[in-house]
């Protein structure tokens, strides 16, 4: 079954399929290994991991596409891209959709913010008109219908913070009518708001729990409860980059403070070298060497050493 078909089926069942965010290929592989069904590329995470900058529209679209390709190739489960505002107007958004489908991604997010955009849980967001966003959705949907009808278009509106739930619902329905498959009201606040949105929106709703720990702006509701409410998808977009930041800060702070400059025996900080190389598939590449390289070349290369970590 195509990855797009797998993702569409999961969302349309409205069982609140959990889609954690990744910030690179390695974090995507971890999410897959931990048993999740699908992955969302985090624009917030890409900005942090690639530039060490906040998510305020600084990452070039070419870099977003290149990084998204790397992530999509690293895992076997469906991956959704974060295409922010679509790279410009409706024509740009259509071209981006073509590229994303060609790269093998299963869906994309596109939002109605003014460029340069910013993370949905930041203050100071501005939105384009609903009419302009409808044009972008229609352009993306035309590409989807031509290339892969199961590809998911997740239409995000950031209007909730400034204009409230009624306008967010109005826009969500306009975007679904224009061809979006999924509606995403970013920054929605409470259980009551989510319930009202589910009742009023003519299609599946995506809910953003941000980090799955604090909830940030959106009330932290257990995913089984969101499934009972009929939510289509639950994204957890920023956890991977925040977990990475905390782990790196903890380790290097401890290393700097250690009188000897080393932390002998404190294995709680990290995976072993062998565990990590197993995870990223070093054994698979060694097997390829054994299959395709001349035996004499392999013997000269390793000279009796272990062929994996020795």
- pLDDT given at position 310: 54
Sign of CA dihedral 115, 117, 120, 124: negative
Residue-wise pLDDT tens digits, 236-293:
999 999 999 999 999 999 999 999 999 999 999 999 999 999 999 999 999 999 999 9
Residue 120 is predicted with a pLDDT of 59
Q: Is the dihedral of CA 286, 290, 291, 295 positive or negative?
A: positive
Given this model, what pLDDT does residue 306 score?
A: 66
Contact status, residue 47 vs residue 53, Cβ threshold 8 Å: yes
- The residue ranges of every structural domain in the chain are 3-244, 271-310
pLDDT tens, residue by residue, 22-67: 999 999 999 999 999 999 999 999 999 999 999 988 999 999 999 9
**Residue 124: other Cβ atoms inside 10 A:** 7
Query: Which of 124-133, 150-159, 196-205 has the least mean pLDDT?
Result: 124-133
Report whether the peptide linkage leading into residue 116 is cis, meaning its omega lies within 30 degrees of zero.
Answer: yes
Which pLDDT value is given to residue 214?
Answer: 84
Give dist(CA 220, CA 226) in Å, integer.
Answer: 10
Cβ(242)–Cβ(217) under 8 Å?
no
CATH number of 3-244: 3.20.20.60
251 vs 196: CA distance, rounded Å: 44
Q: How far apart are CA 45 and CA 243, in angstroms?
A: 11
Cβ contacts of residue 4 below 8 Å, gap of 6+? 78, 106, 107, 148, 150, 151, 152
Predicted model pTM: 0.94
pLDDT of 303: 83
């Amino acid at each position: 079954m195509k990855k797009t078909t797998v993702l569409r089926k999961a969302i349309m069942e409205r069982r609140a399929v959990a889609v954690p965010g990744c910030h690179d290929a390695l974090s995507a592989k971890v999410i897959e290994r931990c048993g999740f069904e699908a992955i969302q590329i985090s624009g917030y995470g890409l900005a942090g991991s690639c530039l060490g900058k906040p998510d305020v529209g600084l990452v070039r679209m070419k870099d977003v596409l290149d990084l998204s390709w790397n992530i999509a190739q690293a895992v076997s489960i469906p991956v959704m891209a974060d295409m922010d505002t679509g790279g410009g107007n409706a024509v740009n958004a259509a071209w981006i959709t073509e590229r994303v489908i060609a790269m093998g991604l299963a869906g994309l997010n596109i939002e109605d913010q003014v460029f340069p955009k910013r993370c949905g849980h930041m203050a100071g967001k501005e939105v384009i008109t609903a009419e302009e966003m409808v044009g972008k959705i229609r352009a993306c949907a035309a590409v989807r219908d031509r290339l892969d009808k199961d590809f998911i278009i997740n239409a995000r509106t950031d209007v909730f913070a400034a204009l409230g739930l009624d306008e967010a619902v109005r826009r969500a329905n306009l975007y679904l009518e224009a061809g979006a498959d999924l509606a995403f009201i970013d920054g929605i606040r409470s259980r009551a708001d989510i319930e009202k949105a589910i009742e009023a929106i003519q299609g599946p709703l995506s809910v953003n729990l941000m980090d799955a720990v604090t909830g940030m702006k959106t009330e932290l509701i257990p995913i089984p409860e969101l499934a009972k409410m009929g939510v289509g998808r639950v994204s957890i977009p920023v956890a991977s980059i925040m977990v990475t930041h905390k782990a790196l800060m903890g380790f290097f702070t401890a290393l700097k403070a250690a009188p000897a400059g080393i932390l002998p025996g404190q294995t709680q900080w990290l995976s072993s070298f062998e565990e990590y190389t197993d995870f990223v598939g070093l054994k698979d590449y060694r097997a390829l060497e054994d299959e395709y390289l001349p035996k004499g070349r392999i013997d000269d290369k390793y000279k009796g050493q272990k062929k994996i970590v020795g």
